[in-house]
Amino acid sequence: MATDGSIIEKESDVSCLNPYMTETRKRLVIASFWVVVLLGLPLWWKTTAVYRAQLPFAQIDSWVDRKACQLTFPSTFVVHLASIADADPKAHNHPLDYPTIENAIAASVDQQIYQANTQQCVEFPLNIEIKEWRITSDIIDLLKHTSEQREKSTIGRYDIFLAPQLPAPTSTKRAHVKLGNDRSMIITLREWTTSDIEESTAAAIATLLQEERERVQSIACDNELRERSNLDGLRTMKFSPMYQMTFSLMNEDPSGLQVDWDIEDAVNTYLRPFMSEVSVISNFSVDSQIQHFAQLAVTPQYMERQKLPSYYYLTPETLPHFINSAEWNLASAISTYPTINFILYIPAQNKSPLRIHNSKGQPVRSNAFLIPRWGGIVIKNQPKALTASGALAFGKEDLKPFMEIFVAQLRTLIGIHDLKKIMSPLETSHEISYESAPQTAVTVTELDAVIKQRIAENIVNSIATLKSLAQLVMDIPNMVVLDHIRTEVEISLDSLEQACQALQQQDYMKALTHSISAIERSEKAFFDPTMVSMLYFPDEHKYAIYMPLFVPVSVPMIMAVVKEFKEARRRRKEAKSKTD
Amino acid sequence: MRYTRISASFIVLCTYILTTESKLSGRQDSFEEELLISPLDDGKLLTHFQFTTLVELDSSKEKQGKLSHYGLFPKAIGQVINHHNVQELHLTFTQGRWQYEEWGYPVAQSAGTGVELWAWMRADANIETNWRSLTNTLSGLFCASLNFIDDTLTSRPELSFRPEGSNNSYYHNRHMNEGVELRYGHLPHENVCTENLTPWLKLLPCKSKAGIAALLNAHKLYDTNYHSMAIHILPVCQDDACTVQKLKLVQTVTSVLDPVRDTGRRDWSLTSLFDRDIPSYCPVSERSSVMVRLPAQKESFQLSPNYEVITGKKQHNQKNMAYYDLKKATEPLNLQMTWDEESFLYPAEPLKPGIVAHKYLTGYGHERGGVTVNIFNQLNDSQEIDYFDSVPWYLKLYLHTLKVSVLGHESISQKDIVKDMYYQPAIDRSRPQVLEMKLLLPPNSVTAVSIEFDKVFLKYTEHRPDANRGFDVGPAIISAVVPEHINDMAANEFNAISKHTDMEALSQIKVYTEILLASLPTPDFSMPYNVITLTCTVIALFFGSLFKLLIQKFEVVEDEGQDQQPEKTT
C-alpha cells in the first residue's frame, strides 16, 4: 500500500506537468483492476463450485428416446409335423412344403395379433421352424418325455407337435389342443390338410402370445394412460428382488374365542414349492403373527333374512377400508423390501357370520378378497359349535382351503396370469385339454410370461429412474454428484445394454438378471443419501452474503469505465471539430 | 373383610401347571400381567404395571434361536432383535426423577431421567453397524429420538450393566456368554409422552383393550410425579442345567401418582387415578392379577372389594399384600382404598435407603468446570459398589484431578476405597469418556468422587437449536448388591411372586443420580454473517477510496498570489 501511495504522490507531481501521461495511466489503472476482476471471477467460480461428476446424459437420453437399443421379445416355435409314412395315407395327397407352411403360419399369426399395434417401441419377432417328427405310439407320453428335457428348453422356445387324429374323431371341432406343463403342446387335427395345419397352428400360437404381447407392449411403451386403465398392472406388486410375506391371524375378540394355527407347517407344505419355482424372479421371506383384539375399521351392515339365518356383510365400497393399519401391527420395522400381507380374519361372535358382497349384492363364495399391491384377506367365521374351551386351532389340514386362496392371491399379486384363461378364446374352434397341473401352482408357460413382463418392467423403470436422476441433477446446479453415483449410473446403463442384447439373442434368463441389476443400480444411485446434502444452500443465499462486497466495489469500477468512455467520446468529438 | 392366607408358593404351583399347555404355532409361549399398587411413605402412590411374555427358543435347529412365526410375542420386537443379533436388550423411557430418599428403591431398576438403552449383542464384524441400525429401528418403532445415540454417546461399560436376572442364560449357558459385547447409550434430554406409549401398548397381546393395560390412560399417566416405561428382553433358563431356554419380554410402566395433591387425603380408587376400571382380564393371559401392598397397621384403612392376603416368606421383612385374581373376577374391578384420617400428615423423617447418590456441577465460568458425586452409605456395613459415569467428549475430564474421598474421614486414603478402575478417554466427536470404578464404601459414610474438566468451544454447527439451554449430561449410575432387607420396597415380594423363584438373600439395586445441565460457551449465531458483512463493508470502503485516489486527476489551480496547491477535481 505504501508503494501505491508513493505512486499517487509522484503521479500528482507529474500530472501537473504532463496531463497526457496521466490519462494513459488512469486507463491502465482501471484496466488492470478490471483484469484482476476478470481473472478472479473464474477462479472464484472454480473454487466455490461443488463437485459434480459428469453423468452420461447423452446415453440416458438415447435410452429415454429408445434409440439405444431396440427392445425385442422374440419367440421361437418348433412345429413338429408327424411324418407321412405312419399317418393315414389318404390325408396326404402331396408332400408338405415346409417353407411355405412356415411363412403362412407366421403371416397368419402376425395378422391375428398385430391389429391394434402401431407403436414400434418393442418388437416381437417370431420364428417358426418345421421339423419332421416320427410319431410315437403314445402321444400323451410325449409331453412327459419333453418335460424331462426341460433343462434344455429355454424361455421363448415352444414345441408344437402336430399329428392327425388317429382314433376316429369324436368332436365336431377342428382340432384338439393339449397343453403340457412345460413349453409344449400337441395338436391333433381332424383333417390332415395344409390349410388346417396352418390355421390351427397359427391360432394356437396367436392365442398363446396375444395377451402376453399386449401386456409387454403396454409396459414397454410406457403409455401411462393405458397402464392406468390396465387393472392387471395395478394389482401386481412393484418389482422387488425380495418380498416379505406376512401371514396374520386376526382375532377380533379373544374373550370368546382363543385362536391358534400351525402356519409354519402349512406354509412349508402348500407354499414352499410355489415359492421355489418363482424364486428365479423374486425371493420371499415368510413370517407370521397372531393379533388379538383386531378391530375392524369399518362397520359391517346387517342383512336380515326371513327363513335363512341373518348375517353381516361388507360391500365392495367398504373393502378398501377393511385394513385397520394403525392398530394391526402389519408394518415391518427392519426391512425396506415390500411386504405382501395375508390375513385370516375371524370376526367377533356378535358380528358373525360376516360375509362379503360383490357389486351385485350377492355374497362372495370364498369370503376372500384381494387388495391390489398389498395382499389378500380371507374371512373365516367362527364355527357355530365351538369346543368347550372356546379355542379354535387350525391344523395344517384346516388351513388348506385358506392357503389355496392365498396362493391364488399371491399369483395375482406377482403378476401370474392363468393359462386357461389365456387359452379360452381358442375354445370356440378347438377342443382344449391340459396336462394335470403340477403341485407348484404355477406352470412353466405362466412363469415365462411373468419373466418377460418383469424384464420389460425393469428395463422401463430403470430408464425412468435414470431419466428422473438426470433431470434432477440438471435442475439443481448446486447438487453434489459424487463419483460413485456416476459409477452406479454407468453400471445401470451397461446392464440395460446387456439385458437388451440378451433379449435379442432370446436369452431371457440373462436378460432378467441384467434387468434386475439395472433397476437396483439405478435406484441405488437415485436414493443415495449424498444426493440431497446440499439442497438447502441455494445460490440466492450465496449472493446475499457477497452482496455487501460486490455492490460497493463494483459501483466505482463501473462508473470509472463509463466515465472514461464518455471522456474518450468527448475528446474524439473535440478532435473532430478541431480538424474541421 | 375376609382374610385368607395363602402362601406365595401355592400360586407359583398353580401357574406352573397352567403354563404347560401345548401350542400349535410351534412354540410354547405365555403371557402374564400384574399390577402392583403401593402407597408410599410421603402419601404418593406407586403403580407398577408388568407384562411378561415368554417364548421358547429352539436353539437346536439351524435357526439359532431365531423366530419367524409369532404368537403372543410381538413380531416387531422379535424381528428387531433377530435382525441385529441382540441377545439382551433394555430400553427405558423415564420422565421425572425417582426420589430415593422418600420412595426407597424402584421396582423397575432402570430409572435415569430420559431414555436409556443398553444391549448385549453378538460381537461379530457388524456389531457397530448393528448397534447404529438398532438405535435407528427402535427410534422408528417407539417414535423417539433414539437415533441420536450415535458414537459420541455410545459407551461400553466394563463393570456395570451385567446381564440381568439370576436365571439369565448368560450365567448358565456357555454359548450365551461367548462373543457378546455390551453397548450403552443414554439420552438425558428426551421428553417421554403419548407418542411413545402408543407403540409400546401395541406390543401387548391385548393392547389396551382388556386386562390391566386398559388402565393406561395417557391423560392420567403423564399427569404424575414420575413416569417410567420400559421394555426388557432377556434370555432365561427354565431349568438349572439350562437345557430349555426361553426369551423373556418384560414390559413395565411405573408411575408415581399423588392423590394428596387434589384432596389432601390419601384415598384413591382406580377410577380416580386413571379415569377407568379394569373391565376384564386379558383373555390370552395365563395370570392376571392386581396386588396392593398393605400398610403395617390394619386398622388405619379400608380396601374394597374383598381380597386375599399373601405374606412374604422372609421373617425379618414381612409385608402383607392384597391379591386380586382377575381371572376369577366376574365384574369390572374398581379398587378403592380409604384411610381413616382427616388429612394426610407428611412424615418428618425421610426413609433411609441404604445407598443414595447425588451429582453436582462445580466450578465456575464457561471454561473450567467440575463434577462431584456424593455417595451416601447409610448401612452399618461397608458396601462394595460399581460406579459408572459416561461424560460427553465436550467436557474434557482431567484424570489427575480425580479425587475419591470420604467426607469427614480424611485419613482414609483413596487406595482403600477404589478397588478397581476403568477409564476410557474421549476422542473428539467420536466417543465419550467413561469412568468406572469399583468402590468400597465405609459404613455410615459419604464418599465424594470429584473430577474437573474443561469445557470445549464447539463448532457453531455442533450446537443444538436451543443452544443457550446448555447440554444435558447423563446420570452417574451406582450398581450394588445389597443385603435383601435393605431393599425395603415392594419390589422383592413382587418379584418373588411374579418370577416364580425363591427370594435371594441379596438383591441387586441400581441408583441413578440427577442429570446435569452443563452450559458451554455459546457463540452469537448471527456472527458469521455479521463478520462477513462487516469485513465486506470495510474492504469496499478501502477499495473505493484507494481506487478513487488512483484514477483521480490532480490539477493545479492557479490562485492569485498563492502557491501551487493540489486540489481535487473529478
Show the 3-state SS of A231-260: HHHHHCCCCCCEEEEEEEEEECCCCCCEEE
Split at pLDDT 50, 70, 90, the class of A141 is: low
Q: What is the pTM of this model?
A: 0.84
Could you tell me the pLDDT band of residue B19, with boundaries at 50, 70 and 90? very low
Cβ–Cβ gap B529/A545 under 8 Å: yes
**Does A243 share its domain with A218?**
no
Last residue of some domain: A388, A413, A438? Answer: A413
Residue to mutate among B551, B555, B556, B567, with most A CBs inside 10 A, is B551
Q: Is residue A185 part of a domain?
A: yes
- How far off is chain A from B335, nearest CA to CA, in Å? 22
State the pLDDT at residue A328.
86
End of a domain among A399, A431, A448? A448
In this structure, the answer to whether residues A79 and A222 fall within a common structural domain is: yes
- All three cell numbers of A12, joined, read 500528482
pLDDT score recorded for residue B506:
56
Contact A393 B24 (CB under 8 A): yes
- CA pair distance B485, B501, nearest whole angstrom: 17
Query: Cell 396375444 sits at which residue?
Result: A210
Asked if A145 and A273 sit in the same domain, the reply is no
The partner residue sitting opposite A334, judged by closest CB among B79, B207, B283, is B79
CA distance A25 to chain B (A): 8
Same domain, A405 and A427: no
Tens digits of per-residue pLDDT, B283-324?
A: 889 889 998 988 877 778 888 888 888 776 554 456 678 889
Find residue A434's DSSP bridge partners: A179
Residues A246 and A393 in one domain: yes
DSSP-assigned states of every residue in B469-538: G-EEEPPPEEEEEEEGGG--STHHHHHHHHTTSPPPSEEEEEEE---EEEPPP---TTHHHHHHHHHHHH
Q: Are residues A122 and A176 in the same domain?
A: yes
Stated as kind and residue range, the H or E segment containing B102 is helix B100-103
Q: Using one digit for the tens of pLDDT, what is the confidence trace for A435-447?
A: 776 677 788 888 8
| Mean pLDDT of the region B332-343 | 89
Q: State how far residue A522 is from chain B, nearest Cα, in angstroms.
A: 24
Query: CA-nearest residue of chain B to A567?
Result: B570
Higher pLDDT residue, A138 or B322?
A: B322
The residues that bridge with B510 in the sheet, in sequence order, are B479
The amino acid present at A292, given as its one-letter code, is H
pLDDT at B10: 40
Out of B25, B74, B206, the one facing A260 most closely (by C-beta) is: B25
Query: Which of B25, B98, B457 has its CA nearest to residue B254?
Result: B98
Which residues, numbered 99 to 158 in chain B, qualify as contacts with chain A under a Cβ-Cβ cut-off of 8 Å? 137, 140-141
More confident residue, B74 or B497: B74
Residue corresponding to grid cell 425385442: A72
A398 touches chain B (CB under 8 A): no
CB distance from B353 to chain A under 8 Å?
Answer: no
pLDDT for A353 equals 86
- Same domain flag for A330 and A429: no
pLDDT at B420: 92
pLDDT digits (tens, 9 = 90+) for A279-311: 888 899 999 999 988 888 888 888 888 888 888
Q: Is residue A59 part of a domain?
A: no
In a domain, A487, yes or no: no
Reply yes or no: is the peptide bond before residue B283 cis, omega within 30 of 0: no
Do A409 and A427 lie in a common domain? no
Tens-place pLDDT, residues B501-526:
444 445 778 899 999 999 888 888 88
pLDDT for residue A3 is more than 50 = no
**pLDDT at res. A241:** 87
Distance CA A105, CA B218 (A): 74
> Residue A153 is part of which domain span?
73-226+423-448
Q: What are phi and psi of A126, to 5 degrees?
A: -125, 125
**A498 within some domain:** no
Question: What are the structural domains, with CATH classification, of chain B?
Answer: 5-346 (no CATH), 355-486 (2.60.40.740), 529-569 (no CATH)
Alpha-carbon distance A532 to nearest alpha carbon in chain B (angstroms): 18
Indicate if A397 and A250 belong to the same structural domain. Answer: yes
Share of chain A above pLDDT 70, in %: 83
Calculate the average pLDDT of chain A: 81
Residue A486: inside a domain: no
Which residue in B27, B53, B67, B69 has the most chain A C-beta atoms within 10 A of its own C-beta, making it the best mutation to test that interface?
Answer: B69
Range from A220-234, B76-90, B302-316 carrying the lowest mean pLDDT: A220-234
**What pLDDT is attached to residue A64?**
87
Q: What is the pLDDT of residue A163?
A: 78
Query: How many Å from the N-terminal Cα to the C-terminal Cα in chain A?
Result: 46
* Alpha-carbon distance B81 to nearest alpha carbon in chain A (angstroms): 10
Instruction: Let me know whether A32 and A162 are in one domain.
Output: no
Q: What is the mean pLDDT of residues B56-70?
A: 67
A323 within domain boundaries: yes
- Identify all chain B residues contacting A11, using CB atoms and an 8 Å cutoff: 554
Does A434 lie in the same domain as A377? no
Instruction: Decide if A504 is inside a domain.
Output: no
What was the pLDDT predicted at B509?
Answer: 84
Give a yes or no: residue A473 inside a domain: no
State the best of B18, B25, B195 to mutate against chain A, taking most chain A CBs within 10 Å: B25
- Whichever domain contains A157, its CATH number is 3.40.390
Say if CB A430 and CB A175 are below 8 A apart: yes
The confidence score (pLDDT) of residue B94 equals 93
Report CA-CA distances (Å) from B489 to A348, B232, B476, B513.
Answer: 43, 21, 22, 19
Domain edge (last residue) among A448, A465, A497: A448
Across residues A183-203, what is the average pLDDT?
81
Is the model more confident about B164 or about A271? A271
A263 and A132 housed in the same domain: no
How many domains, chain A?
Answer: 3
pLDDT at A135 over 90: no
